[in-house]
Amino acid sequence: MTDPLTVPRSSATRETPGRSRARKGEGELLRDEILDATEGLLEEVGAKEAVTMRAVAERVGVSVPSIYLHFADKDVLFYECCRRNLVELATRLEDAAAGSGTVVERMRRCGEAYLRFGLGQPGQYMTLFGTDIPDTVAPDVAADDPGRRCLEVVVRLIEEGVAAGELRSNLPPLSTAVAVWAAAHGAVNLLLTKRLQTDPHVEIPSGEEVISAVVDLSINGMTA
């Protein structure tokens, strides 16, 4: 009944004659459009499970299988989509770490930069860091893991601080850096999953308060 989906629309009507999109060497162009559309939808709905391949295809103005010409599967599409912005995060952290001031000051700027980055792009942050690395992208990640690059910045900063006598670290710098990363990651995660706003009649710290509390705690922990 009311069967508008089964109408053949085969080879006579052709109101929208497919999509006029071509140019020989320019398949990469469509690839970028797909990534843009994915990123947009991801930030609109917040989680990749809520973004369907059909929705991406529709936004781009293309059919679903066309996406699979450029990306092996949904996981790869979303990983590539998020990784584009990783350059931005790495850059911000490296800028913050390389700026002027004491190691502690620079470390504080790094922490704030990380937290603000995560909170600024919830969908992408949770897609990148919130769940297991999907099997189909795991081999790729091993060579170029986003989180690992962040970790590197912190490790070097800690080493510098210890060498300068500014920081104390009775554990290996890598272990301490992991702990610092964990604190920042956990804070972003708690805020993005709304774990701090479920109970309206309990006063809860704002995002800014959480950021400064986490940064304070971590830095105090290293200067003790």
> Least distance in Å: CB of 79 to DNA?
12
What is the Cα–Cα distance from 162 to 72, expressed in whole angstroms?
Answer: 45
Distances from the Cα of 156 to the Cα of 113, 172, 187, 223, angstroms: 17, 12, 22, 16
Confirm if 42 and 48 have CB atoms less than 8 A apart: yes
Told to check if 47 binds DNA by CB under 7 A, we report no
Distances from the Cα of 22 to the Cα of 56, 66, 72, 197, angstroms: 19, 12, 21, 49
Helix, strand, coil shares of the chain, percent, nearest 5, are 65, 0, 35
Residue in 12, 16, 132, 224 binding DNA, rule: CB under 7 A: 16
Told to check if 92 binds DNA by CB under 7 A, we report no
Told to check if 221 binds a copy of itself by CB under 8 A, we report yes
Stretch that binds a copy of itself, among 20-28, 75-83, 85-93, 195-203 (CB under 8 A): 195-203
Q: Which is nearer to a copy of itself, 55 or 179 (CB)?
A: 179
Contact residues for 200 (Cβ-Cβ < 8 A; gap 6+): none
Residue in 31, 33, 46, 90 binding a copy of itself, rule: CB under 8 A: 46
Token reading at 78 = 């979303």
199 three-class SS: coil
Amino acid at the residue 143: A
Told to check if 187 binds a copy of itself by CB under 8 A, we report yes
Residue in 63, 91, 102, 193 binding a copy of itself, rule: CB under 8 A: 193
Told to check if 135 binds a copy of itself by CB under 8 A, we report no
Binding positions for DNA, rule: CB under 7 A: 6, 8-11, 16-28, 30, 51-55, 62-66, 68-69, 73-75
Binding positions for a copy of itself, rule: CB under 8 A: 46-47, 49, 126, 129-133, 138, 141-142, 145, 147-148, 170-172, 174-176, 178-187, 189-190, 192-196, 198-200, 202-205, 209-210, 212-214, 216-224
